[in-house]
Structure 1
């Protein structure tokens, strides 16, 4: 079906739709210089290439947004040969790079890249695609502008800027209208295009959130089709799913992205649970509706991800086997389902593992427990308090505890080093093995309660209380 549509498009190529720019694209001096250089390359080398800028740069320029990433689409050759022609004609250009085709990372064709006049440039040929049933990785051929436009995820990303004609080309016939009407629409029937590459469902959500787009009704129907969800799980790697999720959460309008993921039952795909595990993700999603995004996009990503997993924060109740032991379910999801980096997994797991303590100290304002929580969560202690307050359902607790922390000068307690280390405790107090850990915990507690205390005073305390400390469980 999809191939028949593409053949029909190809036959209609002579009827291409060229639309003058609405609110004409305004080129910077760097862009004008670069485009003029490219036209001179075509003229001098006699390669007959019609040069277009594709996709995101066109979309963002029409919206009045800054964009320095430019994809140059070529109609009669591959990216690297043309890039070498550019380098031969503009000797000042250095450092041409080639990104090899890597379909698993959504790089289906080899791309030549360079930095020219302060702009990040990719050179790539126009392409058409053919998909097989069990893979989202298409076979590629050099295509026409219309074929290239119709194989893209959304009409707003299918627009071209023709460098020679200084015009916007809208080969789908809907791109400009959808862009200015703020509508997410697929160039081809959504169910088929989602089945071909199910990752497009997630990309649709990401762009809808980023640009605050209304989603076309036919996309709603296709996204809710269980066949699409099955294809997403079967054909797309966990790494690619995670990348789209992280781009959503580190962008703007995270709440809209999460709502769409929830509406389309895709949270279950992103936060893939082990078989037979109780599904509490919907309860976690409800908490995100009560959270205000952080100023830092990365902190928002940590906060919302922890909120979705918050119902699994009790590691004793929710854990999974790991070799000869068990580890918390939330760690499993961060590492295996979301495929997060070690640092991101550590931060989110730290928030969740300290959530019970956060809820306790929000109510009790216990000085020692609060300081230990800050020591564990480091600079993210405010995130765990914010999530804890929402879970308790009582406003004002975080503000009150934050004031208490400030008055106690504990905001950066995680940066303070213990007055004594394990070697000193072993040598001076005379303990070994697990007792060293108990002594260090007691030393930190003493340090919290005696902010101006000296090392000598601490050692004296440890020696005097050695029996009570080491005999504690």
Structure 2
């Protein structure tokens, strides 16, 4: 294993240009005598960590010792407007984007004003070094200018508390982060319990970095992360948008299975996957969650042409949705639905409410979750019928229309089928393994592929409502939707047919059933 204790960082061309530019801006400010202390600039946190680990990074936090980010950014802009200065760094005005000031928002765990700017194809954040002081009655800290060491100590993990000093070219480590990186360890710079009580979001950040980097969390931190007082603070004091953002980064990152394993093992599930403002809300049994996320990981790592995973998970979005669904399988145990709005008539399954309000998932995800919870039993029944070779499984129109209905109720019907598989896997035992489950669902996929109905929801109707009313010579009415379904059924029985005459004739034959006022 490489030693990081005497680490040197080699800058690429873009980073070198940025370093030289920022150092010249610092000298420009120093020479103006506008501030008392000489400026010191450092690249901070995640960029330093990733650079040492050999992970490409385009996001750079610049920590400033004696100015806040906004006035520094104005002097940067002023410096670059001086004729000839852009050319010194072989850049143009197009290489420097607009300044974006982001105000502090303590209620959403955004404790400090920052300025972001796109420079030389790098996303740069400008912020001052600071220390934080917490009072017992508030999780929002008092922010003050601090030293580099004080800034390092207030961070969530030692591996995120490293600095690259632009003036010396040295890595500065005030918390033992380099040794922790060598040991592949996630550890808080200060005592864990107080660290998490000061800002409970750090619990999720440690899980995210551990799963992304394949590191382990030190035992003392893990104990504190699972304490009831910390979990209650995370549940009630952190905005659900922030919880959802951290979860999304975990499940879109390199180790989604590991992230769910940490959440499961540390007892974080009921704190994350809940709606803290919905009273009362049932608590599902998450003791079998492991079977669900291990099943999805098994499918993913064994993906081959024509496999279950390749057939059901077909995009980057779908991969993320799949992990959300795996995490929500315990909610399949909770029957019933809850109003979308207090006192409202429209309802959604509890799992969809947890997605909507608990992790602030977008509407598309909430729709998929709703469809998955409402349809997984029917989808499983079709899987069983196929494996039992029931007579109806050869009826392309019947199965195709069923798939279209599932897709209409939530979209992404393939992911709904994946959810049904994961629920079944979570109801098995570890001793049984996934062999029987995988074999049956593989037959399900292959049968539907053979029938050419996997894409039934995207089949373009051979005739629309306007054409149908014209052919029948009647006004539109409540008969229209079921009549168009009859046309689609006919179309599914006659794949490749381009003349809609047969579909119209089928509707005529069933005019009494459809209550069409034909003369």
- Above 0.5 in TM-score? yes
SS in 2 for 1:354: helix
Compared with structure 1, are the counterparts of its residues 95 and 235 closer, same or farther at alpha carbon in structure 2 (3 Å cutoff)? same
Distance 1:320 1:94 in 2: 46
CA shift for structure 1 position 85? 1.7
Structure 2 residue corresponding to 1:210, chosen from 199, 212, 219? 212
SS in 2 for 1:200: helix
Equivalence map 1:16-415=2 (5 Å): 22-46=6-30, 48-91=38-81, 92=93, 93-172=96-175, 174-272=176-274, 274=278, 275-292=280-297, 293=300, 296-313=315-332, 317-322=335-340, 323-325=343-345, 326-365=347-386, 366=393, 367-372=396-401, 374-375=403-404, 376-377=406-407, 380-393=412-425, 394-415=437-458
CA shift for structure 1 position 423? 4.3
Structure 2 residue corresponding to 1:457, chosen from 482, 487, 502? 502
Compared with structure 1, are the counterparts of its residues 219 and 432 closer, same or farther at alpha carbon in structure 2 (3 Å cutoff)? same
The root-mean-square deviation of aligned C-alpha atoms, in Å, is 2.6
Paired residue for 2:512?
Answer: 467
- Contact conserved, 2:243 with 2:272, CA < 8 A, in 1? yes
- Contact conserved, 1:134 with 1:235, CA < 8 A, in 2? no
SS in 2 for 1:290: helix
Distance 1:438 1:114 in 2: 56
- Contact conserved, 1:362 with 1:385, CA < 8 A, in 2? no
- Contact conserved, 2:109 with 2:238, CA < 8 A, in 1? no
Query: How many residue pairs end up in the alignment?
Result: 451
Q: Give a deviation string over 1:364-416, Cα, whole Å, max 9, x none.
A: 34334542454343883433333333444522233323333333333433222
TM, length-normalised to structure 2:
0.80
**What runs of 5+ residues in structure 2 fail to find an aligned partner?**
82-92, 301-312, 387-392, 426-436
Compared with structure 1, are the counterparts of its residues 450 and 296 closer, same or farther at alpha carbon in structure 2 (3 Å cutoff)? closer
SS in 1 for 2:63: strand
Larger CA deviation: 211-220 vs 342-351 = 342-351
SS in 2 for 1:132: coil
Distance 1:193 1:295 in 2: 40
**What runs of 5+ residues in structure 1 fail to find an aligned partner?**
1-18
Equivalence map 1:3-18=2 (5 Å): none
- Contact conserved, 2:326 with 2:422, CA < 8 A, in 1? no
- Contact conserved, 1:389 with 1:397, CA < 8 A, in 2? no
Distance 1:78 1:455 in 2: 70
Distance 1:409 1:149 in 2: 59
- Contact conserved, 1:361 with 1:369, CA < 8 A, in 2? no
TM, length-normalised to structure 1:
0.87
- Contact conserved, 2:40 with 2:65, CA < 8 A, in 1? yes
Compared with structure 1, are the counterparts of its residues 302 and 43 closer, same or farther at alpha carbon in structure 2 (3 Å cutoff)? same
CA shift for structure 1 position 346? 1.8
Distance 1:118 1:300 in 2: 28
